[in-house]
Amino acid sequence: MASRAPAIVVVAALIMAAAHLASGSGYYQAAAPFTTSDWQDGSATFYGDASGLGADFGGACGYGANDIQSLYSTSTAALSTPLFASGSGCGQCYELRCVNSRWCNPGSPSVVVTGTNLCPPNWNLPSDNGGWCNPPRQHFDMAPPSFLILAPRVAGIVPVQFRRVPCQRSGGIRFYVQGNYYWLLLYVMNVGGSGDVGDVAVKRAGEPDCSYVPASRNWGITYQVFAALGNAKGLVVRMTCYSSPRKTIVVDDAIPAWWSTGLSYQGSNNFY
């Protein structure tokens, strides 16, 4: 009887190739989607301009004023140290609801916010009286319009329940490019799914996968590559999210040939 092993191998290879092609530009590795977590206890305050817009709402992560306005609007929060997680929490999405307070708005409506900043600890104040962001507190310092969905301004601080939720984004990953000929700095924004990024690698378009150069986190949402990549070719960015399940995607249609620093580029792929 003839062996059927070669046929099985061929069929498996065809299935894998079809999956890659069917996914369109940028797909790299399938994984289960990010799912909503259980509710946890925390607290919330508000800060910054009453409009909820401006660079103040994205500083520690690296979002500029235009990024906040165009991508996240007023649905943002600065995260206490445990949630900020040395920058890995940037871009993550949380649903919050006010609980156990006379200040909670009727019906305790919830709001979804993106972590875009750090709420630093204040060790001069006790954690239960002004040092709201002192570890190990899980605290959200929110843009005022989002806080007002939970409670009136006079409340000041309210207890909340929160949970991680999948980030719903419009369009693909956005990159803001900085650096020079020998050093590339990418700001990675508009991340769907878990909202966060753990690993990044970059290569020139058209080159084999062995050409990927690993990037390291500089701070917040910024990743740096120490390599002379040039701009005669477009750039392909491979990313793996930080949170489990760790899905990997490739964005190969965002940064074109003759790209320039100081500009933003958006692809079609995302962690949907």
Are 202 and 192 within 8 A, CB to CB? Answer: no
pLDDT in tens, 221-249: 999 999 999 999 999 999 999 999 999 99
The structural domains of the chain, with segments of one domain joined by +, span: 40-164, 173-267
CA distance 255 to 104: 45
Predicted TM-score (pTM) of the model is 0.87
Q: CA torsion sign, 91 to 97 to 99 to 105?
A: positive
Q: Specify the pLDDT at position 32.
A: 79
Give the model's pLDDT for residue 125. 96
User: Tokens at residue 134, please?
Assistant: 């002192």
3-state secondary structure of 5: helix
Tell which CATH architecture fits domain 173-267.
Answer: Sandwich (2.60)
Nearest-5° Cα angle at 74, 263 to 40: 115
* Rounded Cα gap, residues 173 and 168, in angstroms: 12
Q: What is the pLDDT of residues 98-131, one digit of tens each?
A: 999 999 999 999 999 999 999 999 999 999 999 9
**The domain 40-164 belongs to what CATH superfamily?**
RlpA-like domain (2.40.40.10)
Helix (H) or strand (E) holding 236: strand 235-240
pLDDT beneath 50: ranges in the chain: 1-25, 27-28
DSSP 163-185: EE--B--SSS-EEEEEEETTEEE
